[in-house]
Amino acid sequence: MTSNEKTKGYEVIITGAGPVGLTLANLLGHRGVRTLVLEKKPHPTRWTTRCFP
C-alpha cells in the first residue's frame, strides 16, 4: 500500500499527536473536516492522556 492510498480521503493530515496536533484535530473534526493524525510514538504520552481522556 502506498502513502497516497493510506491518506486518501482525508482533507487534512496532522503530524504529531501532541497538544497542538490533537487540539487542531478536535477543532477541525467538530467542523466536519476529515482529519488524520500521525504519531511516531506507539503509545500516548502522559500529557496527552491527562488532557485528552
pLDDT band per the 50, 70, 90 thresholds, residue 3 = low
Structural domain of residue 20, as residue ranges? 3-51
Query: What pLDDT is stored for residue 18 in this prediction?
Result: 85
Query: What pLDDT is stored for residue 27 in this prediction?
Result: 95
Give the cell for residue 46.
Answer: 502522559
Q: 35 forms bridges with which residues in the sheet?
A: 12
Work out how many domains the chain is built from and give that number: 1
Report how far residue 36's alpha carbon sits from residue 47's, in angstroms, rounded to the nearest whole number.
Answer: 20
The answer to whether the pTM exceeds 0.85 is no
Which pLDDT tens digit goes with each residue over 8-47? 889 999 999 888 898 999 999 999 999 999 999 887 777 7
> Residues for the chain: how many in total?
53
